[in-house]
Amino acid sequence: MGAVDTDTAKVGLRERKKQQTRDRIARVALELFAERGYDETTLADIAEAADVSPRTIFAYYENKEDILFCEEGIFIDGLRRMLDARRPGATTIDAFREFFASIEPPDEQARLRKKIVSGTPALQMRMGAQHGRLEPMLVESIARDLGAGPDDMRPLLIAASMTAAFMSVRDRLFEAEAGGEPISHEQALEILDQVLEFTRAGVEALQRD
């Protein structure tokens, strides 16, 4: 193995270790939030349980809220990259569908996070603020599709409908925790796909006008 290969291997190992530490902090924090309560859990508690120093936590997260909602940031950033890098001729709806088709079904950590947030009104508001980043991204992307100006309300209305559809379907994935009837990941994608097909027809009609 040459020097370049060795350096690359070292970088790869270092990045994997960093990701493992980041994941361990998030996993331990969720467990403590569920056991003790979000407000009652301190960063010092998380550091001790994760066997890291508080300083190490700050190397990965800014605060407890950043830990709790870390997956939301990854989700938003991933969608933005998909929208920015979509192939020529692909619409916002194409990129939106492709992105959500690539998302894995909710795992135990996702369900635990949902349970923690659902039990605290203040956290629900913060979750809403996180999701509030989704709609402006879609507005900007749809405006490019339509060649719309800043005073055109059509991108805003289309983005609002897409965001509402996604949020409704996402909530149904977790309704077992709320005593409701959940749907499977495959059913969620099928429903969202149907709504997006309906939305696509409307966007294409606007583009022909």
pLDDT digits (tens, 9 = 90+) for 131-148: 788 899 999 999 988 888
Residue 68 has pLDDT above 70, yes or no: yes
Residue 159 DSSP SS3: helix
Q: What's the chain's average pLDDT?
A: 84
Instruction: Pick the most confident of 44-53, 149-158, 159-168.
Output: 44-53
Residue 208 has pLDDT above 70, yes or no: no
DSSP 42: -
pLDDT of residue 7: 46
Residue 179 has pLDDT above 60, yes or no: no
**Domain range summary for the chain, segments of one domain joined by +:** 3-63, 69-208
Binned at pLDDT 50, 70 and 90, residue 181 comes out as: low
Is the domain spanning 69-208 CATH 1.10.357.10? The answer is: yes
- Its pTM surpasses 0.85: no
Task: Taking residues 44-63, report their average pLDDT.
Answer: 94
- Which residues have C-beta within 8 Å of that of residue 173, sequence separation ≥ 6? 105, 106, 182, 183, 185, 188
CATH assignment of 3-63, among 1.10.101.10, 1.10.10.60, 1.20.1250.20, 1.10.10.10 = 1.10.10.60
20-48 confidence digits (pLDDT tens): 999 999 999 999 999 999 999 999 999 99
Higher pLDDT, 182 or 5: 182
Q: How many whole angstroms separate alpha carbon 90 and alpha carbon 135?
A: 19
Q: How many whole angstroms separate alpha carbon 89 and alpha carbon 111?
A: 37
Residue with token string 């003790």? 36
Q: What percent of the chain has pLDDT over 90?
A: 30
